[in-house]
Structure 1
Amino acid sequence: MKRNHPGLIAIAIAIALFLFIFLIGPILTVVYTAFTDGQGGFTLTHFLAFAEISLMRESFANSLFVAGTTVLCATVIAIPLAYLTMRFQFRGAVLIQTLGVLPLVMPAFVGAAAMQLIFGRSGAVNLILMDNFGISLPVMEGLSGIIFVETLHYFPFILLNLSASLATIDSSMEEAGQNLGASGWRLFRKVIFPLALPGYIAGASLVFIKVFDDLGTPLVLNVTNMLAPQAYLRVTSIGIEDPIGYVICVILVLFSVAAMAGSWWFVKRRDYALVSRGGAQAPKRKLTSWQTALAYGWIIGVLMLVLSPHLGILLMSLFKVWSFSVLPEQFTLVHYATIFTDAKQMIWNTILYCGLAAFVDIIIGGAIAYIVIRTTIPGRQILDHLVTVALAMPGLVLGIGYLRAFRGIELPFGAGAFTASWVIFVVAYSVRRLPYALRSCMAALTQVHPALEEAAENIGAGRWRTIRKIVIPLMMGGLLAGFVTSFITAAAEISETILLTSRESLAPMSYGIYLYFQSIAGRGPGAALSVVAISIVALGTYITHRLAAAATPHQNVGNRT
Structure 2
Amino acid sequence: MVELTLKRNSLGLTAIAIAIAVFLAVFLISPIVSVVYTAFSDGHGGLTLSHFFAFFQISLMRESFANSLFVAGMTVLGATLIAIPLAYLTMRFQFRGAVLIQTLGVLPLVMPAFVGAAAMQLIFGRSGAVNLILMDLFGFSIPVMEGLSGIIFVETLHYFPFILLNLSASLATIDSSMEEAGQNLGASGWRLFRKVIFPLALPGYIAGASLVFIKVFDDLGTPLVLNVTNMLAPQAYLRVTSIGIEDPIGYVICVILVLFSIAAMGGSWWFVKRRDYALISRGGAQAPKRKLSSWQTVMAYGWIIGILMLVLSPHLGILLMSLFKVWSFSVLPEQFTFAHYLTIFSDAKQMIWNTILYCGLAAVIDVVLGAAIAYIVIRTTIPGRQILDHLVTVALAMPGLVLGIGYLRTFRDVELPFGAGALTASWLIFVLAYSVRRLPYALRSCMAALTQVHPALEEAAESVGASRWRTIRKIVLPLMMGGLLAGFVTSFITAAAEISETILLTSKESMAPMSYGIYLYFQSIAGRGPGAALSVIAITLVALGTYLSHRIAATATPHQNVGART
Q: How high is the TM-score relative to the length of structure 2?
A: 0.97
Residue from 524, 531, 538 that aligns with 1:533: 538
Equivalent AA in structure 1 for residue 57 of structure 2: E
Deviations 1:148-207 (A, max 9, x none): 000000000000000000011000000000000000000000000000000000000000
Deviations 1:32-54 (A, max 9, x none): 00001121211111111111100
- Give the aligned partner of residue 219 of structure 1: 224
Deviations 1:368-400 (A, max 9, x none): 111111111111111111111100000000000
Q: Secondary structure at the match of 1:71?
A: helix
Q: Is the CA contact (8 Å cut-off) linking 2:367 and 2:443 kept in structure 1? A: yes
- Give the aligned partner of residue 430 of structure 2: 425
1:138-537 equivalence runs, <5 A? 138-276=143-281, 278-537=283-542
Q: Is the CA contact (8 Å cut-off) linking 1:476 and 1:548 kept in structure 2? A: no
> Matches of 1:401 and 1:146 in 2, distance apart?
26
Q: Against the structure 1 CA distance between its residues 277 and 204, is the aligned structure 2 distance closer, same or farther, given a 3 Å change threshold?
A: closer
Equivalent AA in structure 2 for residue 199 of structure 1: G
- Give the aligned partner of residue 104 of structure 2: 99
How far 1:543 moved relative to its partner? 4.5
Q: Is the CA contact (8 Å cut-off) linking 2:377 and 2:386 kept in structure 1? A: yes
1:134 matched to 2:133: no
- Give the aligned partner of residue 72 of structure 1: 77
Q: How high is the TM-score relative to the length of structure 1?
A: 0.98
> Matches of 2:67 and 2:104 in 1, distance apart?
31
How far 1:415 moved relative to its partner? 1.3
Equivalent AA in structure 2 for residue 246 of structure 1: Y
Equivalent AA in structure 2 for residue 477 of structure 1: G
> Matches of 1:110 and 1:557 in 2, distance apart?
46
How far 1:473 moved relative to its partner? 1.0
Q: Secondary structure at the match of 2:325?
A: strand
1:8 matched to 2:13: yes
> Matches of 1:329 and 1:110 in 2, distance apart?
21
Equivalent AA in structure 2 for residue 422 of structure 1: W
Q: CA RMSD in A?
A: 1.5
- Give the aligned partner of residue 90 of structure 1: 95
Q: Is the CA contact (8 Å cut-off) linking 1:171 and 1:281 kept in structure 2? A: yes
How far 1:551 moved relative to its partner? 7.4
> Matches of 2:460 and 2:356 in 1, distance apart?
40
Matched-pair identity in %: 89
Equivalent AA in structure 2 for residue 17 of structure 1: V
Deviations 1:458-487 (A, max 9, x none): 222210111111111111111111111111
Q: Against the structure 1 CA distance between its residues 278 and 436, is the aligned structure 2 distance closer, same or farther, given a 3 Å change threshold?
A: closer
> Matches of 1:348 and 1:384 in 2, distance apart?
32
Q: Against the structure 1 CA distance between its residues 555 and 148, is the aligned structure 2 distance closer, same or farther, given a 3 Å change threshold?
A: closer
How far 1:279 moved relative to its partner? 1.7
Deviations 1:408-455 (A, max 9, x none): 101112211000000000000000001111111111111111111111
Q: Secondary structure at the match of 1:256?
A: helix
Q: Is the CA contact (8 Å cut-off) linking 1:322 and 1:328 kept in structure 2? A: yes
Q: Is the CA contact (8 Å cut-off) linking 1:172 and 1:276 kept in structure 2? A: no
Q: Against the structure 1 CA distance between its residues 174 and 473, is the aligned structure 2 distance closer, same or farther, given a 3 Å change threshold?
A: same
